[in-house]
Chain A
Amino acid sequence: MPFIPHTPSDVSEMLAAIGAPDIDALFDEIPAALRTPPPENLPQGLTEMQITRLMHARAQLDGQPLNFLGAGAYEHHIPAAVWAIVSRGEFYSAYTPYQAEASQGTLQVLYEFQTMMANLTGMQVSNASLYDGASALAEACLMAVRAHRQSRSARILVPATVHPDYRHVARAITTGQSLKFDVLPYGEEAGTLDLSSLERYSGQDITAVVVQHPNFFGLLEDVDAITDWAHAQGAMLIAVVNPVSLAIFKPPGEWGEKGADIVVGEGQPLGAPLASGGPYFGFMTTRMEYVRQMPGRLIGRTLDLDGKPGFSLTLQAREQHIRRSKATSNICTNQGLLVTAAAIHLSLLGATGLESVAAACQANTSALVEALTGIDGVRLRFAGPRFHEAVLQLDRQVDGVLQELARRNIAGGLDLSRHFPGLGNALLVCATETRTPEDIRTYAHVLAEILT
């Protein structure tokens, strides 16, 4: 059947057959106030050539700035092979194919992805992805409430050094589910969670403690102490991590005496382009004992009746299409194509490649900090060990400086005054492996010009 719109005569024929005078009569059960009128001010259709020109013009408005902005979305080099392979017809589907007999390749890719994420985070099981890192944190909080049956409080401790947007999303998604989030302050000098702020919760019923590592300021938290404190209180530990950083840092599965209980994060650094903010994907790993409380799909490897290996969707009995309102999660969508990209990206890089990327990010950020703090009116706000981001303190409002940098084609970082007004004129900068010494010199040169 050709997918063409119905002609007016088709429509009137169908309406006549069911005895409806017009289309509106079909929808008269929906109150008028809830109906959306047809969009106005839509321009007429364009030819393909006109559209191409328009898109080029619009894309140019975005420009290709020299990028020192991170804050949760990171510019990394993606080998050309990654998306050349992902775009093959076998993978590139408008839908995530689940029928095992039709999609063994897709299922195997997801299985390999799960294996790599479990290894990278030092955990036992991984799901096949969530929407993004922020919603993955929300899901981890809900999962902790389900998994930790002795805890009645549904109270989750969240340091202020967890990405502010992640905190907002976690709150928004769990609204109405009686979770309580207590935000813990960071140390004014260190920029990391002040362990003494945990002490006032000692002996209380805490369901889970969240820690982001590296934290929103790019700094390394004392994850061993925080993990052990959480477990000593009988609370679960939810880790939010950058997957690239795990190539050089201790995996959450090894934090403290017992390791983290749930690990989540944003998968974008593993082969997904920045793309103005999405689509990205979230990952989640946990221990085997909590696997039945984990949202999302898991792919398992099994043997068929002839003993031949095969892959199948498993542990999906608590999913929305089966369990409706009682599903473990209603945002278990698997970001299949991006996960495919991540699996291919990780395979091409290998453990050594990922380690080189992480080390280059860390070294470049150190070089950036050194170059920028050499300028009058710029100093480093927090001196502790970091991964690939740092907070700089300027002697004037950051907003104006960033606009000036943008005019010179530099995305200079994130103005922290909106989320952390207490920090004053604070700027979050980032340098991944894609920034060269020349890029850093350029930024330092332009910033010095602006500030003097």
Chain B
Amino acid sequence: MSNIPSDLKFNESHEWARLESDGSITIGISDHAQNALGDLVFVEIPEAGRTLSKGEVAAVVESVKAASDVYSPLSGEVIEANESLGTSPEQVNTDPYGQGWLFKLKPSNLGELSSLLDAAAYAKIVEAASH
């Protein structure tokens, strides 16, 4: 069973977003997603300063079998990317909601957060996908 923390928001395409106390948004991929992809061997993260629109391709996660796009769940400017993934992409597998975060956004429209799925709604999608 996938770990789906209740304090996060989710995209149908399996990204998670967390509103931090400083108003920034941390983004990663869900436990379900990392599990489905298998061992990650490479993560291409966006460079700081890049402006992203909601739904734009922001990162690429590559496993031994596939390379998948990661879509930004919100619009905003990339303020930091998780550089440690360059040498240790497996952090996404072992700790998708912690060490395995991908990038942080300064959101340009915080209202977009409410359009994302809450944990319960995302859990239904994951459950449906596993049948």
Spell out A's residues near B (CB within 8 Å).
149-150, 292, 317-318, 322-323, 326
Contact of A322 among B41, B44, B47, B65 (CB under 8 A): B65
Determine if B69 is an interface residue (Cβ-Cβ < 8 Å).
yes
**A274 CB → nearest B CB, Å:** 39
**A137 CB → nearest B CB, Å:** 24
The verdict on A323 contacting B67 (CB below 8 Å), with A292-B42, A292-B62, A318-B62 known, is yes
| B47 touching A317, Cβ below 8 Å | no
A interface footprint on B83-107 (CB within 8 Å = 1, 0 otherwise): 0000000000000000000000000
Contact of B67 among A149, A150, A322 (CB under 8 A): A322
- Contact sample, A vs B, 16 pairs, CB 8 Å cutoff: A149-B47, A150-B47, A292-B44, A292-B62, A317-B62, A317-B64, A317-B66, A317-B67, A318-B62, A318-B67, A322-B65, A322-B66, A322-B67, A323-B66, A323-B67, A326-B67
Determine if B63 is an interface residue (Cβ-Cβ < 8 Å).
yes
Q: A76–B64 Cα gap in the complex (Å)?
A: 41
Contacting residues, chain B, for A323 (C-beta < 8 A): 66-67
**A324 CB → nearest B CB, Å:** 11
Q: A323–B44 Cα gap in the complex (Å)?
A: 15
Contacting residues, chain B, for A326 (C-beta < 8 A): 67, 69
Q: A323–B41 Cα gap in the complex (Å)?
A: 16
**Known contacts A292-B42, A322-B66; 5 further A-B pairs (Cβ under 8 A):** A317-B41, A317-B67, A318-B62, A326-B67, A326-B69
Contacting residues, chain A, for B63 (C-beta < 8 A): 317
Contacting residues, chain B, for A150 (C-beta < 8 A): 47
Contacting residues, chain A, for B44 (C-beta < 8 A): 292
| A317 touching B65, Cβ below 8 Å | yes
Shortest Cβ distance from A328 into B: residue: B67
Q: A323–B63 Cα gap in the complex (Å)?
A: 12
Contacting residues, chain A, for B65 (C-beta < 8 A): 317, 322
Q: A392–B42 Cα gap in the complex (Å)?
A: 52
Shortest Cβ distance from B46 into A: residue: A149
Spell out B's residues near A (CB within 8 Å).
41-42, 44, 47, 62-67, 69
**B55 CB → nearest A CB, Å:** 15
Shortest Cβ distance from A146 into B: residue: B44
Contacting residues, chain A, for B69 (C-beta < 8 A): 326
Q: A150–B48 Cα gap in the complex (Å)?
A: 11
**A210 CB → nearest B CB, Å:** 25
Contacting residues, chain B, for A318 (C-beta < 8 A): 62, 67
Shortest Cβ distance from A323 into B: residue: B67
Contacting residues, chain A, for B67 (C-beta < 8 A): 317-318, 322-323, 326
Q: A323–B61 Cα gap in the complex (Å)?
A: 12
Shortest Cβ distance from B62 into A: residue: A317
Q: A260–B21 Cα gap in the complex (Å)?
A: 46
**A125 CB → nearest B CB, Å:** 14
**Nearest 10 CB-CB pairings of A with B:** A317-B67, A318-B67, A317-B62, A317-B66, A323-B67, A322-B66, A292-B42, A149-B47, A317-B65, A317-B63
Shortest Cβ distance from A149 into B: residue: B47
Q: A149–B62 Cα gap in the complex (Å)?
A: 18
Contacting residues, chain A, for B47 (C-beta < 8 A): 149-150
Q: A150–B47 Cα gap in the complex (Å)?
A: 9
Shortest Cβ distance from A291 into B: residue: B42
Contacting residues, chain B, for A322 (C-beta < 8 A): 65-67
Shortest Cβ distance from A326 into B: residue: B69
**A313 CB → nearest B CB, Å:** 11
Q: A292–B59 Cα gap in the complex (Å)?
A: 14
**A302 CB → nearest B CB, Å:** 11
Q: A322–B68 Cα gap in the complex (Å)?
A: 10
Q: A292–B89 Cα gap in the complex (Å)?
A: 14
Q: A322–B62 Cα gap in the complex (Å)?
A: 11
Q: A149–B64 Cα gap in the complex (Å)?
A: 24
Q: A354–B118 Cα gap in the complex (Å)?
A: 65
Q: A275–B105 Cα gap in the complex (Å)?
A: 57
Q: A403–B64 Cα gap in the complex (Å)?
A: 56
Shortest Cβ distance from B64 into A: residue: A317
Q: A322–B63 Cα gap in the complex (Å)?
A: 11
Q: A317–B66 Cα gap in the complex (Å)?
A: 5
**A16 CB → nearest B CB, Å:** 41
Contacting residues, chain B, for A292 (C-beta < 8 A): 42, 44, 62
Shortest Cβ distance from B42 into A: residue: A292
**A100 CB → nearest B CB, Å:** 13
**A303 CB → nearest B CB, Å:** 16
Q: Which of B42, B66, B67 has the most CB of A within 10 A?
A: B67
Q: A322–B37 Cα gap in the complex (Å)?
A: 13
Q: A347–B49 Cα gap in the complex (Å)?
A: 49
Contacting residues, chain B, for A149 (C-beta < 8 A): 47
**B16 CB → nearest A CB, Å:** 22
Q: A326–B67 Cα gap in the complex (Å)?
A: 9
Contacting residues, chain A, for B42 (C-beta < 8 A): 292
Q: A81–B44 Cα gap in the complex (Å)?
A: 45
**A150 CB → nearest B CB, Å:** 8
**B54 CB → nearest A CB, Å:** 19
Contacting residues, chain A, for B66 (C-beta < 8 A): 317, 322-323
**A73 CB → nearest B CB, Å:** 36
Q: A292–B66 Cα gap in the complex (Å)?
A: 13
Contacting residues, chain B, for A317 (C-beta < 8 A): 41, 62-67
Shortest Cβ distance from A292 into B: residue: B42
